[in-house]
């Protein structure tokens, strides 16, 4: 795709967002979606979109998939945190989308926190292979019915990395 400066206003998309979110949150979502297009973690944030089932949150994911294609993974934020092999699947990806985030609190948060703020290589393990150093520039967007919690980490560092949006 190439940039078209005089393209028409995406009226259908904006109408959908106005039904889903308050105006301030629409701006935040659009900014975060733009941030996802860049291979950087300088923003040091992940996004959590909270709402009831069937409200349309997953449509955002479908639009992101159309924009990002294979540069996006879908999966579980819990798996990224606790499965030592899951991070390797995120190498060279721009986005990991959790379309149905579990409400169970994370037993630890160090992997998520380091991925969200990472500016250097990290250790990536693949099954049956020697671990290697690799770059992760992935951002996280999670859709769920509640907040992402932690069993033990009550630090500012965990919560400052999260942007919460609540659907109407």
Q: pLDDT digits over 50-81, tens only? A: 999 888 999 999 999 999 999 999 999 999 99
What global pTM score does this model have? 0.91
For residue 3, pLDDT over 90 is answered with: no
- Positive or negative, the CA dihedral 88, 99, 116, 120 is positive
Confidence of residue 100 (pLDDT cuts 50, 70, 90): very high
Residue 14 has pLDDT above 70, yes or no: yes
**For range 97-112, the mean pLDDT:** 93
**Could you tell me which residues come within 8 angstroms of residue 43 by beta carbon, excluding any fewer than 6 positions away?**
32, 35, 139
> Using one digit for the tens of pLDDT, what is the confidence trace for 76-96?
999 999 999 999 999 999 999
CATH fold for the domain made of 11-166: Rossmann fold (3.40.50)
Q: Which tens digit of pLDDT belongs to each residue from 147-163?
A: 998 988 888 888 999 99
For residue 99, pLDDT over 70 is answered with yes
CB count, 10 Å around CB of 14? 12
- Domain ranges in the chain are 11-166
Count the Cβ atoms, other than its own, within 10 Å of residue 131. Answer: 13
């Amino acid at each position: 795709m190439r940039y078209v400066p005089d393209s028409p206003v995406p009226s259908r998309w904006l109408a959908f967002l106005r039904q889903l979110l308050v105006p301030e949150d629409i701006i935040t979502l659009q900014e975060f979606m733009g941030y996802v297009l860049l291979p950087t973690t300088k923003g040091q944030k992940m996004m959590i979109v909270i709402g009831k089932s069937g409200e349309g949150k997953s449509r955002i994911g479908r639009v992101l998939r159309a924009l990002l294609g294979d540069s996006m993974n879908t999966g579980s934020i819990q798996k990224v945190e606790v499965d030592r092999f899951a991070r390797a699947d995120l190498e060279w990806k721009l986005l990991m989308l959790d379309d149905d985030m579990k409400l169970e609190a994370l037993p630890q948060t160090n992997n998520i926190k380091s991925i969200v703020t990472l500016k250097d290589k990290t250790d990536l393990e693949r099954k049956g292979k020697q671990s290697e150093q690799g770059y992760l520039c992935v951002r996280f967007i999670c859709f769920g019915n509640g907040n992402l919690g932690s069993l033990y980490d009550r630090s500012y560092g965990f919560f400052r990395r999260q942007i919460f949006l609540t659907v109407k």
